[in-house]
Structure 1
Amino acid sequence: MEITSETHSQHISRQFNQELEALKTHLMTMGGLVEQQVQEAIQALLEGDSRLAEKVRDRDRDVNAMQLRIDDECTRVLARRQPAASDLRLVLAVIRATADLERIGDEASKIARNALTLIDNGNNVRGLVEVRHISEHVRRMLRDALTAFARFDTELALRVVHEDESVDDEYGSAMRSLMTFMMEDSRAIGPVLNVMWILRALERVGDHADNLAEYVIYLVKGLDIRHMDTDQLDEEALTRKE
């Protein structure tokens, strides 16, 4: 059965409705925090703001704590309500989504740590244009994936899934350019490696945003597309009303 944003407000138990809505709300709050973490980590790098980078690095524990709280809420819902069908899919999707959001928080922390190293060394390095471009792309993917989750929007989720290939192409191109630069100037190897690790972290953020979008499709349609060829996905079948 396909579900909509109204599906989980139709239970006889008002408390059960509130518990399911609370899961979604807390997931969105966590998503907003990790989105901010990525944005501020990149901002710290580009602006040479070591204090902001330290703030992002240290706030990773808050992301971890949010995951534990949401997982505990999900466990209590499973134990007390024994949900079935679409309700069960919602709880499972939230559990999976929080794991990916926690990993995005980890990637933001990695970006902040590498930013601190680059700032300490003067922050005069190649690759920052590519960092800015890819960061904007993956942050848009993350924002769209969270919006799709909030709205149960499979059409938007599918667009995010297809965007991941574009990010992979941009990442590959940036890495090849930086490899060439390092071969031409061995003195730049250390700082450029820091930029490459940042780019790798951003590419991973894109992967996790892709996962979030896939969970939306699972939640709404009951279809697990994690191991499907995205080029072969039937967009009409995924987005039409059943």
Structure 2
Amino acid sequence: MDKLNLDRHISRQFNAELEALRTQMLEMGGLVEQQVSDAVAAIESGDTALAEKVIVNEDKVDEFELELDEQATLVLARRQPAASDLRLVLAVIKAIRDLERIGDEAQKVAKMAIELSGAGTNSRGASELRHIGASVAAMMNQGLDAFARFDADAALKVVEADKLVDREYKTAMRELVTYMMEDPREISRVMNVLWALRALERIGDHVRNICEHVIYLVRGLDIRHISLDEAEAKLHSKKP
């Protein structure tokens, strides 16, 4: 696990502002993580009440985004941070945008849960939803934990997990499109499954983004446009 020194400034107020920004971002992350967990549970169980809860709580996620954006902007304006402090503030700003988009995608999953609850008993696509849903929920938990602990190695593992989710999503897409072609009567229901799977895949992408922010924050490495093998080699060769 890596370390950042958030208590090294002469100004205790600056220390407190940085810590508050990080803490509140993680609080927003906890709310969004619950949104994802509830949306996945709703689509697995057909629990429309739980799905409605996810839809309603999206407003809270939006409020968090606006509040944290304002706080981060004030820190930039008042403190003009440099080096790792600047990377921390920028990482928080980028992370909260990804968190807000994760909330949007969780809301889409919840809406599809409501649609699917009245679409009959055909279970085609249920295993794909369950498996990919569990995968992205685990990524969400691990990604937030990596940010909380400034753990670049753990963040890279989440990036690797997203590649697996992408492969599973493409496989599920091919199988479900083939199924629709074989039985056109199921097109409407299976399209809802596909939209839910797409939203889950997008959640994985946004969690990956957050973990890329962690790696840049902690190690100063931008791994967005290189292979996983290259990223791992650079991460292990560059000392914090």
Which category describes the TM-score, using the shorter chain as reference length?
A: over 0.9
Q: Return 5+ residue gaps in structure 2 as ranges.
A: none
Which among 43, 46, 52 is matched to residue 44 of structure 2? 46
Residues 38 and 123 (structure 1), Cα distance of their counterparts in 2 relative to 1, 3 Å cut:
farther
Cα distance, 1:241 vs structure 2: 3.6
Aligned residue number for residue 54 of structure 2: 56
Aligned residue number for residue 72 of structure 2: 74
**Matching of residue 223 in structure 1 with residue 221 in structure 2:** yes
Aligned length in residues: 240
Structure-to-structure mapping, 1:1-242, within 5 angstroms: 4-122=2-120, 124-235=122-233, 237-238=235-236, 241-242=239-240
Structure 2: which amino acid aligns with 1:32?
G
CA contact (8 A) 2:2 2:152 kept: no
Structure 2: which amino acid aligns with 1:213?
C
Q: Return 5+ residue gaps in structure 1 as ranges.
A: none
Cα distance, 1:235 vs structure 2: 3.7
Question: Counterpart of 1:216 in 2: which secondary structure?
Answer: helix
Q: Distance in 2 between matches of 1:6 and 1:227?
A: 25
Question: Counterpart of 2:224 in 1: which secondary structure?
Answer: coil
Per-residue CA deviations over 1:7-65 (Å, capped at 9, x if unaligned) read 11111111111111111111111111111111111111221111111110111111011
Q: Distance in 1 between matches of 2:2 and 2:86?
A: 14
The 10-residue stretch of structure 1 (135-144 or 82-91) with the greater mean CA deviation from structure 2: 135-144
Q: Distance in 1 between matches of 2:232 and 2:174?
A: 33
TM-score (norm 2): 0.95
Percent identity between matched residues is: 55
Q: Distance in 1 between matches of 2:239 and 2:223?
A: 18
CA RMSD of aligned residues (A): 1.6
TM-score (norm 1): 0.94
Question: Counterpart of 1:8 in 2: which secondary structure?
Answer: coil
Structure 1: which amino acid aligns with 2:41?
Q
Question: Counterpart of 1:59 in 2: which secondary structure?
Answer: helix
Residues 239 and 68 (structure 1), Cα distance of their counterparts in 2 relative to 1, 3 Å cut:
farther
Structure 2: which amino acid aligns with 1:99?
R
CA contact (8 A) 1:145 1:157 kept: yes
- Following TM superposition, the consecutive aligned residue runs of length 4 or more in structure 1 with deviations greater than 4 angstroms are none
Structure 2: which amino acid aligns with 1:233?
A
Q: Distance in 1 between matches of 2:143 and 2:168?
A: 20
The 10-residue stretch of structure 1 (39-48 or 64-73) with the greater mean CA deviation from structure 2: 39-48
Cα distance, 1:240 vs structure 2: 5.7
Cα distance, 1:4 vs structure 2: 4.8
